[in-house]
Amino acid sequence: MGFFLRWMVAFILLGATFNPTDVNYVHWVSANYQTQLPMSVLLGLLLTVGYIIYLRATLRSIGAFGMFLVLAIIAAMLWVLYDYGLLDIKNQTMMTWLGIFALSIVLGVGLSWSLIRRRLSGQADVDDVDEE
């Protein structure tokens, strides 16, 4: 359940920022920034905090190369789906959602990697702790 929840929050974070519908931060800000500037800034800062939490944890746990590998695996799976005729790349809406899905998997894996690694190897990760 832990990975699913972390992935779902990443998906919501990415989807709230941008998605192919009109219900997203980018669309809302472009339509309302003149009349709702304080709310635009507040929501933008909240989204930024969410991205910092996810990106920092992901970079610390799997690094940039690990992020690239997870994204490459997802891209290869999508390629297989396309090759078998199960994926229509001409549908821009579906491709945007798949991009959000792929990026959310990367962030979900990054945030959950310590738990996944512990289950696979039996070894726990320990963060560096500064002693005062």
The reply to whether 42 falls in a domain is: yes
The reply to whether 126 falls in a domain is: no
State how many domains the chain has.
1
The reply to whether 132 falls in a domain is: no
pTM: 0.84
What pLDDT, in 10s, does the model give residues 42-97? 999 999 999 999 999 999 999 999 999 999 999 999 999 999 999 999 999 999 99
The reply to whether 128 falls in a domain is: no
Average pLDDT, the chain: 91
Please check the confidence at residue 131 and state whether its pLDDT lies above 60. no
Domain interval for residue 96: 2-121
Please report the DSSP string for the chain in residue order: -HHHHHHHHHHHHHHHH--SSS-SHHHHHHHHTTT-HHHHHHHHHHHHHHHHHHHHHHHHHTHHHHHHHHHHHHHHHHHHHHHTT---TT-HHHHHHHHHHHHHHHHHHHHHHHHHHHHHHSPPP-------
